[in-house]
Amino acid sequence: MDNGNLLFIFIVLVVAAAITVAVTYFLTRHLADKFRKEQQEKSDNIIALANEQSKTIELEGRDKALKVLEEAETEIARRRGDLGREEERLQKRRAELDHRVERMELREQSLNKRQSALDKRTNEVEKMASQHLTELQKIAQMSVEEARSQLLAEAEKEARNDMARIIRQVESEARTEGEKRARVIISDAIQRVASDHVAAVSTSVVSLPNEEMKGRIVGRNGRNIRAFEQAAGVDVIVDDTPEAVTISCFDPIRREIARRTLERLIVDGRIHPAHIEKILAEEQRDVEKDIIQAGEQAVYEAGVGALHPEVTRMLGRLKYRTSYGQNQLAHAVEVAKLAALIAADLGADVDASRQAGLLHDIGKAMDHNTEGTHAQIGAEFTRRYGINPRVVNAIAAHHHEVEQESVEAVIAEAADAISGARPGARREDLEQYIKRLRALEEIATSFKGVQQSYAIQAGREVRIIVRPDDVDDLAAVRLARDIAKKIEETMQYPGQIKVTVIREMRAIEFAK
């Protein structure tokens, strides 16, 4: 192809491209103008629609504003009317008050006038009364104080006569009815309890398998029996009684421990000081368990609810305590039952009466270690362990050491008297005997340096164990003489009392 054709083709292509560009430009511009016109029409429509809606909303807002304005004007008019009526009412009230004040002022003036007249009349009356009194004194030849005293004396005499007559009548009726009612209640309570007349008193006699055992108990040169007596705090009497020895001690718990220990030693056969102390310690633990079981059994038999373990344990110690020969634990259970029956008949608190009856003598389980009467000691002890205050008062007041604050306290006292006063319940000799032995031990322990003291031989001897570091041999002699002298000065007793002071030194060493 020659150059002329190429040029022609190139020119045609350039012209075609130019035409294409021009057509494209004009077409694009036409389309853009058309799109702009359509958008302008849409925006004009939207603006027109918005204008119409704004006009509609404006009209609705104006209508609502007019409505609110009308309602506000109506409410304001109503309130103005209410205020007007309230103002009218206040005006009327003010006028009434003014009128009332005027009437009060007039009445006050009237009262002042009357008061003046009354004061004047009162002065006249007092003057006349004074004149009459003076004339009466002249006629009667007696002053006002004398006349008043005579009149009061006559009135008092007459009143006393009437009062004495009424008191005698009431006392007679109360005594008749009270005695009748008391007989019924007490007899019914006693019949329903129906306990034995005499509580059992344990003996202190230990049976032996043969007479040879007495020699083994005594030991070489009395070594075994001395060790046993010192460790247990009792007196072992080995006499002519066949196949038996007697343990003497006023403290029933120590006596029971000693009895059990001796019986075990007899069965075991090994009787020497070291083994005695071992068995004695074991029996002390066993007796302590028995004391707890006895207390729990007594609480169950009396029908009392759960008590503090320490109260139950202390109650169980009464199993080994007697009062005038009557076992104190059996007595406590009996008093609890009697008190409950009496309280039920009288309409009192049965549970409080039952508990007061059971615990009324609990102080006797510790009175040899604590100062004070058993009623005071028992009340203080039970108060520490949260017992009902009415029960505590009944315990403290059952011997009238303090005032009885409730009917339950009176019931506990009555039940105690019933239990102790029935025929055969108590023997006074044993109680006096125990008091004398306790007094012996208290006198001995009151001296400095005394570790333990034991009254033995039915009170004919008191054995005193001293601390060897505090009391030497010469001081032990002086101590025995001083204790004997104080016993002579403070106690009454038949015959004579032997005072034995024991000072023992022990040297202990261990082979390793």
Q: What is the pLDDT of residues 171-182, one digit of tens each?
A: 666 666 666 565
**Which pLDDT score, from 0 to 100, does residue 214 have?**
82
Question: 216-248: per-residue pLDDT in tens?
Answer: 888 888 888 888 888 888 888 887 778 888 888
Instruction: Give the H/E segment covering residue 150.
Output: helix 144-193
How much is the average pLDDT of 287-310?
A: 88
Q: What's the pLDDT score for residue 370?
A: 66
Q: Residue type for 337, please?
A: K
Q: Which pLDDT score, from 0 to 100, does residue 182 have?
A: 59
Question: In whole angstroms, what is the distance from residue 427 CA to residue 438 CA?
Answer: 18
- CA 331, CA 262: separation in Å to the nearest integer? 29
Helix (H) or strand (E) holding 98: helix 3-140
Question: In the chain, what percentage of residues exceed pLDDT 90?
Answer: 5
Secondary structure of residue 28 in the 3-state scheme: helix
**How much is the pLDDT for 466?**
92
pLDDT bracket for residue 199 (50, 70, 90): very low
Q: Considering only CA atoms, which of 500, 492, 505, 504 is closest in space to residue 455?
A: 500
Q: Is the pLDDT of residue 367 over 60?
A: no
By CB atoms closer than 10 A (0-12, 13-18, 19+), residue 206 is buried
Confidence at residue 185, expressed as pLDDT on a 0 to 100 scale: 58
206 or 424, higher pLDDT: 206
- Pairing mode of beta strands 461-466, 498-502: parallel
* H/E segment holding residue 490: helix 473-490
Q: Are 291 and 315 in contact (CB under 8 A)?
A: no
Neighbours of 257 (CB within 10 A): 28
* Cβ atoms within 10 Å, residue 276: 23
Can you tell me the distance from the alpha carbon of 332 to that of 416, in angstroms, rounded to the nearest whole number? 8
- What kind and span of H or E run contains 323? strand 322-323
> What does the alpha-carbon distance between residue 205 and residue 243 come to, in Å, rounded to a whole number?
10
Contact 375, 398 (CB under 8 A): yes
Tell me which long-range contacts 250-256 makes (C-beta under 8 A, separation of at least 24).
250/433, 250/434, 250/437, 250/438, 250/455, 250/459, 251/368, 252/202, 252/320, 252/321, 252/322, 253/287, 253/291, 253/317, 253/320, 255/204, 255/320, 256/202, 256/287, 256/320
Return the C-alpha torsion angle 15, 21, 25, 30, nearest 10. Answer: 70
Handedness of CA 295, 300, 303, 306 (dihedral sign): positive
For residue 463, what pLDDT is reported?
Answer: 92
- CA dist 204 and 255 (Å) reads 7
Question: Residue 324, by phi and psi: left (phi above 0), alpha (psi -120 to 50) or beta?
Answer: left
Q: What is the dihedral of CA 257, 258, 261, 265, to 10 degrees?
A: 180
Collapse the DSSP code of 385 into the 3-class scheme (helix H, G, I; strand E, B; otherwise coil) and give the result.
coil
SS3 for 205? strand
Reduced to 3 states, what is the DSSP secondary structure of residue 368?
coil
Task: Pull the structure tokens for residue 6.
Answer: 């190429």
Give the C-alpha separation, 317 to 319, whole Å: 5
Q: Cα–Cα distances in Å, from 371 out to 82, 357, 364, 377, 378? A: 88, 23, 11, 8, 11
Contact 355, 392 (CB under 8 A): no
> CB–CB of 303/336 below 8 Å?
yes
The residues that bridge with 501 in the sheet, in sequence order, are 464
In the predicted structure, residue 74 carries a pLDDT above the cut 60? yes
Q: What is the pTM of this model?
A: 0.47
Helical residues (DSSP H) of 303-373, grouped into ranges: 309-316, 328-346, 350-359
pLDDT at residue 200 in the model: 38
Average pLDDT over every residue of 189-205: 48
162 pLDDT higher than 70: no
Cβ proximity of 359 and 315 under 8 Å: yes
pLDDT score at 483: 92
In three-state secondary structure terms, 322 is: strand
The DSSP symbol for 258 reads H
Q: Name the average pLDDT for the chain.
A: 81
d(CA 467, CA 447): 12
Q: Please determine, for residue 297, whether its predicted confidence score (pLDDT) is greater than 80.
A: yes
